[in-house]
C-alpha cells in the first residue's frame, strides 16, 4: 500500500520531465530560440514535482502513525482506562494493533475488537487519502510547470536554484543530527544527575555501576565516579599515540620523500590494508599475541604484569592508527608546492633538512588533522579494549595494569538488563556526554594551536 | 660551436668559471640535451635563449645538479666548476648548490618571516657564529638584493606577503646569503610585471660585479639588455654562443637568425 504513492511520484516526475521537454521541443521546432536547452526544461519540471511531493509522502508516513494512535485511544469508551499508568496505556494500544493484524490471543473484550476495527479502517482511509493528495498535488505542479514553458523561460537557472536548495538542506543534515544527539544525550544525562550528584560523578574515584535493577538481584553497592574510567581512556590513548605518531609520521615522511618509487608502490597499499582490518581482528591479535608477549617479557625481567594490560591494547590500537596518520601526513606533505622543495634544495639543504625546516612546518595543519582523527578514534575505540584491556575500573596510570575505558563501560552498562529509571543505565548517557565534551575540547584546542603556528603557503 | 666559444673566451681574456664538455642529458628515453659545449665566464651575465622545450632550463639545472632530484634524469659529459668536475663522486651536491645558487621562475619564498627566509641558507650551512653575525648577513644580503629599504621595518612579516617583484628580489637575496660564486636564474622575470622586471634586471646588472650570473630567458629584449654573452639553444643543441651584441646583430647560424627575427620559436 505504501508503494503506491512512491509509484505515483515516479510516474509524475517522469511525466513532468517528458511533458516539459516535449513542450520546449515544439517551441524550438516552431523556430523560436530557447533560452535553456530542452533537457533543462524537463529537469525543471521533474525537480519541481519530485521535491515537494516526496516531502509530503515522507511527512505523511512520519505523522500518520502517532495521529491514528491518538484518535483510536480517544475513541475508546469513557472510564475504562481512567487512572492507568503510561505503561498500561501502551500495552492496550499494542494489543489493539496486534488484533487489527489478526494476531488474537485469548478472547479480547468487545471494546478492544471494536477499537481494532476502527484502527484498521483509519489506516486504510489514511492510505487512500495519501494517494489522493499525492496525485492531486502532482497534477497541480505538472500543470504549473507546463504553463511556465516559454522560449524565454530560464529553466537552466531554475534547476540550479532547486539543486542549490537541496544542497543547503543536505549540508544542514549533519548540523541538525549533531544538535539532536546533544539534546537527547543531555536529557538522559540530566535524569542521571537527578539520581547521582554531579560532584560524585565528576570527582569520585570509584566506579562500580553494576547496582541491582530489581530488588531480588545481588549486585554491587554502586559508585559512580568517572575519574578511573576517563583515566583508563587517557592511558590507553596516550600509549596508542606513542606508537602511532612516530611510526605514522616517519613512515609518511619516508614514503613521501625518500622511498624509491617501486617500494612506495608496494608499501602504500599495504598500509591502506591495515586501515581496513576490522578492530575485532586487532583485538584477537592483542589478546593472543601481544598480551602474552608483554607478560613473558615482564616476567623475564622480574616485573609483575597483569594478563590484560593497557600496554597491549594501546600498542595494538597504535598500530591500527598508523595508516590514518601516515596517509593524512603523506597527503599534506604532497600538497606542499614543489617550488618550496626546489627552493630548499637549491639553497643547498639535504632532503632531511628540507623536510624538517620547510615541508614539515608547511604541512602541519594536515598532519594535525590526521593526528586529531587518530585521537578521536583512540578515545572512541571499544573492541580492542574490551578484548585486551579488561573491564575493571582502576585508578591507575600504570600501563602494565588492566584498565577500562569510557566506551567499554558504556557498552557493559547497556547490554543485558536495562532500565531507564535506574542510574546504572543512565550512567551510560552521562559517560557519553562527557566523552563528547572531551573530544570537542581536544578538537577546539588543537585547531587553535594549529592556527597559531601554521606556516601558510599559497 | 665549441670552437667559437673557445676563440671567444681566448679573445676576451677573462677567467672561465664553468666549462661544459660534451654534456648529454636524458629524461628516460628522451635525449633532452645533445652534446653541449660551453664556457661560462666569471663576473659576466650569460643568457640562455631559445624556444620553449629547447633544453635551456634543463641545461641550467645541470650546473648545480638540481637534475639529481629527478629520478629519471641522467647526465653524461663533464661540467667543470673552477676546473673541478661537479659530477665527480667526491663532490657533495649539497655543498655544490650552496656554491652555485639558483633563482626560480616563480618567486618561491618560504612561508616564514623575511628574516628567516634570508637566514635559511646561512643557518643550514653554519655561516654565522651567533645572532649578531646572522643579522649582519641578513642585512647585507637584503641590501645586495635591492630590497632592504622596502622590508627593513618588517623583517618579522611573512615573506609570502610581499608583492611578486619583492618576493623575487627576496629570493635573489636568499640565494646571495649563502655566498655563492655562481647565480643561476631560471626565467626570473616571467611572473613579474614590467616595473618589477626592470628592478630585477637592474639588480642582475649589479650582481655581475661579484658573481657569474647565468640567466634563462624567453625575452630576447631581456637577454639583449642584461647579458654580455648569449647562448642560443634549439631542440637540445647549443646552436650558437657568443657576444650578445654579435648574436643579436650578426648571427652566424641561420637558425639563430630565424629565431631572433621571429620566424621560429
Which residue segments constitute the domains of chain A, with CATH numbers given? 3-187 (no CATH), 207-453 (1.10.3720.10)
Looking at residue A162, what is its pLDDT?
A: 93
User: What is the C-alpha separation between A134 and A141, in angstroms, rounded?
Assistant: 11
Question: Which residue matches cell numbers 606556516?
Answer: A455
Helix (H) or strand (E) holding A249: helix A227-253
Does the domain made of B2-109+180-260 have the CATH classification 3.40.50.300?
A: yes
Substitution target from B91, B124, B158 for chain A, most A beta carbons within 10 A: B124
Looking at residue A108, what is its pLDDT?
A: 77
Q: How confident is the model at residue B265 (pLDDT cuts 50, 70, 90)?
A: low
User: What is the C-alpha separation between B151 and B149, in angstroms, rounded?
Assistant: 6
The angle at the Cα of B118, spanning B114 to B124, to the nearest 5 degrees, equals 130
Looking at residue B264, what is its pLDDT?
A: 65
Q: How confident is the model at residue B40 (pLDDT cuts 50, 70, 90)?
A: very high
Q: How confident is the model at residue B71 (pLDDT cuts 50, 70, 90)?
A: confident
Question: Which residue matches cell numbers 613473558?
Answer: A296
Looking at residue A57, what is its pLDDT?
A: 93
Looking at residue A115, what is its pLDDT?
A: 86
Looking at residue A458, what is its pLDDT?
A: 61
Where residue B30 falls (left for φ over 0; alpha for ψ -120 to 50; beta otherwise) is beta
Residues of chain A whose beta carbon is less than 8 angstroms from a beta carbon of chain B are: 261, 337, 339-350, 353, 357-358, 361-362, 455-458
Indicate yes or no: CB of B66 within 8 angstroms of CB of A342.
yes
Looking at residue B107, what is its pLDDT?
A: 92
Looking at residue A142, what is its pLDDT?
A: 93
Where residue A222 falls (left for φ over 0; alpha for ψ -120 to 50; beta otherwise) is left
- pLDDT at B200 exceeding the cut of 80: yes
Q: Which three cell numbers stand for residue A30?
A: 516552431
As a dihedral over the C-alpha atoms of residue A182, residue A183, residue A185, residue A191, rounded to 10 degrees, the angle is: 150
Give me the residue from B95, B96, B104 closest to A343, CB to CB. B104
Q: What percent of chain B has pLDDT over 70?
A: 94
CB B205 within 8 A of CB B183: no
Which positions in chain A touch B61 (Cβ < 8 Å)? none
Where are the domains positioned within chain B? 2-109+180-260
Where residue A416 falls (left for φ over 0; alpha for ψ -120 to 50; beta otherwise) is left
- pLDDT at B2 exceeding the cut of 50: no
Which positions in chain A touch B112 (Cβ < 8 Å)? 361, 455
- pLDDT at B6 exceeding the cut of 50: no
- pLDDT at B150 exceeding the cut of 60: yes
Which positions in chain A touch B174 (Cβ < 8 Å)? 343, 347
Q: Which three cell numbers stand for residue A428?
A: 551510560
Quick check: B250 contacting A, CB < 8 Å?
Answer: no
Question: Which residue matches cell numbers 492510505?
Answer: A127
Quick check: B57 contacting A, CB < 8 Å?
Answer: no
Please report, in angstroms and rounded to a whole number, the separation of the first and last CA atoms in chain B.
Answer: 21
Quick check: B121 contacting A, CB < 8 Å?
Answer: yes
Find residue B40's DSSP bridge partners. Answer: B18
Looking at residue A366, what is its pLDDT?
A: 86
Residue segments in chain A with a per-residue pLDDT below the cut of 50 = none
Question: Which residue matches cell numbers 634549439?
Answer: B234
Q: Which residue of B has its CA nearest to A337?
A: B108
User: What is the C-alpha separation between B242 and B6, in angstroms, rounded?
Assistant: 10
Residues 159-178 of B with CB under 8 A from A: 160, 171, 174-175, 178
Which positions in chain B touch A364 (Cβ < 8 Å)? none
Looking at residue B22, what is its pLDDT?
A: 92
Summarised one tens digit per residue, pLDDT across range A291-323 is: 999 989 988 988 888 888 889 999 999 999 999
**Which residues, other chains included, contact A60 with Cβ-Cβ below 8 Å and sequence gap of 6+?**
A5, A126, A130, A133
Amino acid at each position: 500500500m505504501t508503494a503506491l504513492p512512491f509509484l505515483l511520484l515516479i510516474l509524475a516526475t517522469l511525466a513532468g520531465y517528458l511533458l516539459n521537454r516535449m513542450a520546449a521541443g515544439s517551441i524550438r521546432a516552431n523556430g523560436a530560440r530557447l533560452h535553456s536547452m530542452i533537457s533543462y526544461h524537463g529537469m525543471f519540471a521533474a525537480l519541481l514535482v519530485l521535491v515537494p511531493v516526496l516531502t509530503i509522502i515522507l511527512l505523511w508516513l512520519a505523522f500518520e502513525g502517532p495521529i491514528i494512535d491518538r484518535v483510536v485511544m480517544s475513541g475508546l469508551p469513557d472510564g475504562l482506562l481512567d487512572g492507568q499508568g503510561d505503561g498500561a496505556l501502551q500495552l492496550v494500544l499494542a494489543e489493539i494493533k496486534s488484533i487489527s493484524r489478526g494476531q488474537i490471543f485469548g478472547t479480547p473484550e468487545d471494546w478492544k475488537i471494536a477499537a481494532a476495527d476502527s484502527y484498521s479502517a483509519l489506516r486504510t482511509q489514511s492510505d487512500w487519502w495519501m494517494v489522493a493528495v499525492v496525485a492531486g498535488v502532482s497534477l497541480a505542479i505538472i500543470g504549473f510547470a507546463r504553463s511556465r514553458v516559454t522560449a524565454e523561460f530560464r529553466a537552466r537557472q531554475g534547476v540550479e536554484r532547486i539543486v542549490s536548495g537541496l544542497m543547503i538542506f543536505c549540508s544542514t543534515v549533519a548540523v541538525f543530527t549533531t544538535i539532536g544527539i546533544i539534546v537527547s544525550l543531555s536529557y538522559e544525562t540530566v535524569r542521571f544527575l537527578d539520581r547521582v550528584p554531579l560532584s560524585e560523578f565528576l570527582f569520585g574515584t570509584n566506579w562500580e555501576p553494576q547496582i541491582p535493577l530489581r530488588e531480588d538481584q545481588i549486585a554491587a553497592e554502586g559508585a559512580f565516579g568517572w575519574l578511573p574510567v576517563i583515566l583508563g581512556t587517557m592511558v590507553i590513548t596516550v600509549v596508542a599515540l606513542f606508537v602511532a605518531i612516530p611510526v605514522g609520521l616517519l613512515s609518511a615522511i619516508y614514503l613521501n620523500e625518500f622511498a624509491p618509487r617501486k617500494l612506495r608502490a608496494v608499501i602504500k597499499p599495504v598500509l591502506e590494508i591495515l586501515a581496513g582490518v576490522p578492530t575485532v581482528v586487532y583485538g584477537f591479535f592483542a589478546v593472543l599475541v601481544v598480551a602474552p608477549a608483554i607478560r613473558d617479557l615482564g616476567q623475564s625481567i622480574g616485573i609483575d604484569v597483569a594478563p590484560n594490560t593497557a600496554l597491549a591494547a594501546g600498542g595494538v590500537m597504535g598500530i591500527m592508527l598508523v595508516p590514518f596518520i601516515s596517509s593524512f601526513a603523506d597527503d599534506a606533505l604532497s600538497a606542499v608546492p614543489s617550488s618550496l622543495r626546489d627552493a630548499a634544495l637549491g639553497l643547498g639543504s639535504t632532503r632531511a633538512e628540507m623536510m624538517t625546516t620547510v615541508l614539515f612546518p608547511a604541512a602541519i595543519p594536515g598532519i594535525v588533522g590526521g593526528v586529531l582523527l587518530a585521537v578521536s578514534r583512540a578515545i572512541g575505540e571499544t573492541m580492542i579494549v574490551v578484548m585486551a584491556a579488561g573491564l575493571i575500573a582502576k585508578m591507575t596510570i600504570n600501563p602494565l595494569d588492566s584498565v577500562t575505558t569510557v566506551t567499554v563501560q558504556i557498552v557493559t552498562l547497556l547490554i543485558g538488563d536495562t532500565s531507564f529509571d535506574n542510574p546504572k543505565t543512565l550512567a551510560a548517557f552521562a559517560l557519553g556526554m562527557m566523552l563528547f565534551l572531551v573530544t570537542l575540547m581536544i578538537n577546539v584546542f588543537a585547531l587553535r594551536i594549529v592556527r597559531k603556528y601554521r606556516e601558510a603557503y599559497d | 660551436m665549441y670552437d667559437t666559444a673557445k676563440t671567444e673566451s681566448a679573445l676576451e681574456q677573462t677567467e672561465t668559471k664553468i666549462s661544459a664538455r660534451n654534456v648529454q642529458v636524458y629524461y628516460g628515453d628522451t635525449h633532452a640535451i645533445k652534446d653541449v659545449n660551453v664556457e661560462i665566464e666569471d663576473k659576466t651575465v650569460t643568457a640562455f635563449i631559445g624556444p620553449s622545450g629547447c633544453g635551456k632550463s634543463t641545461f641550467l639545472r645541470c650546473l648545480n645538479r638540481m637534475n639529481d632530484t629527478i629520478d629519471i634524469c641522467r647526465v653524461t659529459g663533464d661540467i667543470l666548476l673552477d676546473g673541478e668536475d661537479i659530477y665527480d663522486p667526491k663532490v657533495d651536491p649539497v655543498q655544490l648548490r650552496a656554491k652555485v645558487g639558483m633563482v626560480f621562475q616563480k618567486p618561491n619564498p618560504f612561508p616564514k618571516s623575511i628574516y628567516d627566509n634570508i637566514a635559511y641558507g646561512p643557518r643550514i650551512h653554519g655561516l654565522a657564529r651567533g645572532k649578531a653575525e646572522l643579522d649582519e648577513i641578513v642585512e647585507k644580503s637584503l641590501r645586495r638584493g635591492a630590497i632592504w629599504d622596502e622590508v627593513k621595518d618588517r623583517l618579522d612579516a611573512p615573506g609570502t606577503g610581499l608583492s611578486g617583484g619583492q618576493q623575487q628580489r627576496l629570493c635573489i637575496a636568499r640565494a646571495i646569503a649563502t655566498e655563492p660564486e655562481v647565480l643561476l636564474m631560471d626565467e626570473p622575470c616571467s611572473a613579474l610585471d614590467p616595473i618589477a622586471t626592470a628592478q630585477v634586471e637592474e639588480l642582475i646588472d649589479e650582481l655581475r660585479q661579484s658573481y657569474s650570473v647565468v640567466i634563462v630567458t624567453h625575452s630576447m629584449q631581456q637577454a639583449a639588455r642584461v647579458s654580455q654573452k648569449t647562448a642560443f639553444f634549439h631542440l637540445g643543441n647549443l646552436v650558437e654562443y657568443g657576444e650578445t651584441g654579435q648574436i643579436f646583430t650578426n648571427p652566424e647560424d641561420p637558425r639563430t637568425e630565424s629565431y631572433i627575427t621571429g620566424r621560429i620559436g
